[in-house]
Structure formats: C-alpha cells, structure tokens
Amino acid sequence: MNIVKLLVILVLIYVAYRVVKMFRRVGADEVKPYRVDTEPPQREDLVQDPFCKTYVPKSQAYVQDIGGRPQYFCSRECCEKYLAEKK
C-alpha cells in the first residue's frame, strides 16, 4: 500500500467534507469570520543580544560578524564586552 497515495486520498476526503460543510453553513447566522488574535502581529524580528540577553528589533541592533555568523547586540558596548569576554 502506497502511504502517500493513501494520505492524498484522505486529504481529498477531508477537503470535500470541509467544502460540503462550508456550503451548508452559507446563509446561516452562525457563519462569521473567525479570526483568532491571540498574538499581536510582530512587524519585526527580535534578536537577542548574547551578552546582556536583551531582545532588540533587528533594524536597531548592532550587528557584528563573529565566526562568520552575524551576531546582534543592543549596543556597540555590549558587542565589545562580548568580544572581550570571549577571548
């Protein structure tokens, strides 16, 4: 038995079920757009300063390539302290 084929069939059945259910609910009062706003939208990635563990927006972070990888700091001072501690 091809497991992928089985999965595809199951997905198709599920989709068909959802479509039927959706059409049945059209016109009913219970139809309403449900949006779950549990999390505030994050407009920007936060990066963690490895020295003081502060989270800073990527655009405001002080970036320094360390060992070929960019490291983000809240300030230049933190970067320097981090480098000094690393040695």
Could you list the residues that contact Zn ion (CB under 5 A)?
A: 49, 52, 54, 74, 78
Between 6 and 63, CB nearer to Zn ion: 63
Between 30 and 82, CB nearer to Zn ion: 82
Between 47 and 74, CB nearer to Zn ion: 74
Nearest to 72 by CA among 85, 59, 86: 59
**Beta carbons within 10 angstroms of residue 82's beta carbon:** 17
Do 84 and 78 touch, CB atoms closer than 8 A? no
CB of 74 to Zn ion, least distance (A): 3
